[in-house]
């Protein structure tokens, strides 16, 4: 995994899957029940370590990713966050003139259980298995902080950014600083690389993408590397499409995640020539399985396997996927020949 992040082409490529520790695994469901609430699981070093390791034991992925959630950052800043069963995250919405109640200074202290989890995972992982930390990108985190929940078009945050760009910039500045501190702490605790998830980057127009997606991530990358020189940082701007090459050039990321809507030929010719790529199998193929899954795997390998590639999905694995489909995917990738 780390060799590919450093620009080497390996075939078959290394594999990990976004949300590889999650509700499609029966062992995860049992551990989640033991923890109680979702945030309780995120803040339990013992149980979060266990669920991070479960897919490594079962499938032998080339990387583990810290089990946590992007919303632990606003929670640690002092925003009220909870998870409603079957409904997703809920937050007490913030206003742009009410940011004084958020506390950056105390954030890392509140996230100490998560950092302990990173240390425990690294100690328990096989030496050849990479450990990934992560955070949410400032834009994506801001959409939840302002709306108080996920929304279809991120309208509340987009409206706030247009009507009060100076106030919105103050929120983004806070989240950039929080992200730098959090990622640096994960790297120092034992993460080999980190990923920045910008799940809602695709909702921005050209001006917004430049100001709220590219610029904050570029500042995070520079801030992290000022403390951890050469830090490996994967960007995942879901929905960026044709903006991906500019995003790569301007942010300075090490590698970029491709969602499943990015045409593989475009990624090969315009993105993989710049940095290693990660992705971009449609997660629905993990649900359908069978020949549809095989065709999808083969297409990704054929189109992107001639350059530096980390095999992954184009977004997270869904709860209705089956462990058997994951086993089939791993076997097919590992047996592939070009």
Active-site residue (options: 9, 40, 69, 225): 69
Active-site residue (options: 32, 120, 232, 285): 32
Residue 307 is given by DSSP the state S
C-alpha–C-alpha distance, residues 236 and 263, integer Å: 15
Active-site residue (options: 144, 158, 192, 247): 144
- Is 144 annotated as catalytic? yes
C-alpha–C-alpha distance, residues 174 and 176, integer Å: 6
C-alpha–C-alpha distance, residues 80 and 83, integer Å: 11
- Is 32 annotated as catalytic? yes
Active-site residue (options: 23, 110, 149, 225): 23
- Is 58 annotated as catalytic? no
C-alpha–C-alpha distance, residues 275 and 159, integer Å: 33
- Asked if residue 218 lies in contact with residue 252, where contact means CB atoms within 8 angstroms, the answer is yes
- Asked if residue 205 lies in contact with residue 282, where contact means CB atoms within 8 angstroms, the answer is no
Of 2, 6, 40, 41, the residue nearest 21 (C-alpha): 41
- Is 173 annotated as catalytic? no
Q: Please compute Rg for the chain using Cα positions.
A: 19
Active site residues: 19, 23, 32, 69, 144
């Amino acid at each position: 995994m780390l060799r590919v992040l450093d620009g080497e082409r390996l075939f078959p490529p290394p594999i990990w899957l976004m949300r590889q520790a999650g509700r499609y695994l029966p062992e995860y469901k049992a551990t989640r029940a033991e923890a109680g609430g979702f945030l309780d699981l995120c803040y339990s070093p013992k149980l979060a370590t266990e669920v991070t390791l479960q897919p490594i034991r079962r499938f032998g992925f080339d990387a583990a990713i810290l089990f946590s959630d992007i919303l632990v950052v606003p929670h640690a800043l002092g925003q009220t966050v909870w998870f409603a069963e079957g409904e997703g995250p809920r937050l007490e919405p913030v206003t742009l003139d009410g940011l004084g109640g958020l506390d950056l200074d105390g954030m890392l202290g509140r996230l100490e259980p998560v950092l302990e989890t990173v240390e425990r995972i690294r100690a328990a992982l096989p030496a050849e298995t990479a450990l990934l930390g992560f955070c949410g990108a400032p834009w994506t985190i801001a959409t939840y902080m302002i709306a108080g929940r996920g929304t279809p078009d991120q309208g509340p945050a987009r409206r706030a950014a247009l009507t009060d760009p100076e106030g919105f910039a103050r929120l983004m500045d806070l989240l950039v600083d929080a992200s730098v501190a959090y990622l640096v702490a994960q790297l120092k605790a034992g993460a080999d690389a980190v990923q920045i998830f910008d799940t809602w980057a695709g909702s921005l127009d050209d001006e917004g993408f430049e100001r709220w997606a590219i610029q904050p991530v570029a500042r995070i990358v520079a801030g992290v590397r000022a403390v951890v020189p050469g830090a490996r940082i994967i960007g995942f701007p879901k929905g960026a499409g044709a903006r991906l090459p500019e995003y790569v050039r301007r942010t300075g990321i090490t590698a970029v995640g491709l969602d499943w809507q990015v045409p593989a030929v475009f990624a090969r010719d315009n993105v993989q020539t710049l940095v290693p790529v990660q992705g971009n199998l449609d997660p629905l193929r993990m649900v359908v399985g069978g020949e549809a899954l095989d065709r999808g795997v083969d297409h990704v390998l054929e189109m992107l396997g001639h350059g530096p590639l980390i095999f992954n999905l184009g977004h997270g694995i869904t709860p209705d996927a089956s462990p058997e489909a994951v086993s089939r995917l791993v076997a097919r990738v590992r047996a592939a020949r070009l």
